Amino acid sequence: MAWPRLVGERDLDGGEDRMDETGVCQSCGEKLVCIDIDPEETENFAKSLAKLACEKEARTNFAKFQEWLQRHGPFDAVVDGANLGLANQHTFSFPQIMRVVNQLRQISPTKKFPLVVLHQSRVSGGPAQHPNNKKLLETWKRAGALYSTPQGSNDDWYWLYAAVSSKCLLVTNDEMRDHLFNLLGNSFFPRWKEKHQVRIKPSSNGLILHMPPPYSLVIQESERGSWHIPTVTGDDLETPRQWVCATRM
Ligand SMILES: [Zn+2]
């Protein structure tokens, strides 16, 4: 075996070694594989998610949301409004959510609006009173792309269920590691998250959508026998995805 090399998704040290966006290792030229998620597994997960949500939330509220989704979904993307309104901001920013919504519309094959989930209090008081924001909310509502979760609800259940049941992208910078997400277990949820979570990153040109990788973050052997080992488990913005590439001589 050749000496293993560390391959970063971003070129960290100015060297040649990097993993490109499509998952081709620039050190050995092999491509990382994508292990697909079984749609049936996703449907089962959506069912157990709904069951849990009905236990934790007011059942009638959540059932009402499920009916609403039946009528307006499926979506290409779901936006965690509370998280994105505050991401890298001191005060809640509707324009920031709008920029994300518009970018998602552009990449949607049918130019469909993503679903924005926001707690009731966010769509009635505070910045929601500003005329421009009022207009925005009205536009999303008319397009069937805004759901405001009722008083006393935890909106996390709502956006997560919407994304899982629509089998679509979920935009949030929430790393989904707190108590609620611990209830979801470790077998399916981390794999689902890896393939569906989009994060936003500020840049000099505005916001960048950080899309899920087109390959799986697992130890894998390529066709010609090189091994690629991810050095970080999970995926977040602060720690760039890095791989150890070990090729056979
Ligand atoms: Zn390699």
CA torsion sign for 123, 124, 127, 132 is positive
- The side-by-side arrangement of strands in the sheet containing 242-246 is 5-8, 242-246, 227-230, 220-221
User: Residue 19 pLDDT more than 50?
Assistant: yes
Structure ipTM = 0.98
Q: Are residue 178 and residue 240 in the same domain, yes or no? A: no
Ligand 1 center from residue 223 Cα (angstroms)? 11
CA of 25 to the centre of ligand 1 (A): 5
pLDDT (tens digit, 9 = 90+) per residue, 52-107?
Answer: 999 999 999 999 999 999 999 999 999 999 999 998 888 999 999 999 999 999 99
Are residue 4 and residue 113 in the same domain, yes or no?
A: no
Q: Are residues 198 and 241 in the same domain?
A: no
Q: Do both 68 and 188 map to the same domain?
A: yes
CA 34 to ligand 1 center in whole angstroms: 15
176 CA to middle of ligand 1, Å? Answer: 30
Distance 247 CA to ligand 1 centre (A): 7
29 and 44 housed in the same domain: no
Separation of CA 10 and ligand 1 centre (Å): 14
pLDDT 10s digits, 175-227? 898 888 999 988 899 999 999 999 998 888 778 999 998 899 889 998 888 89
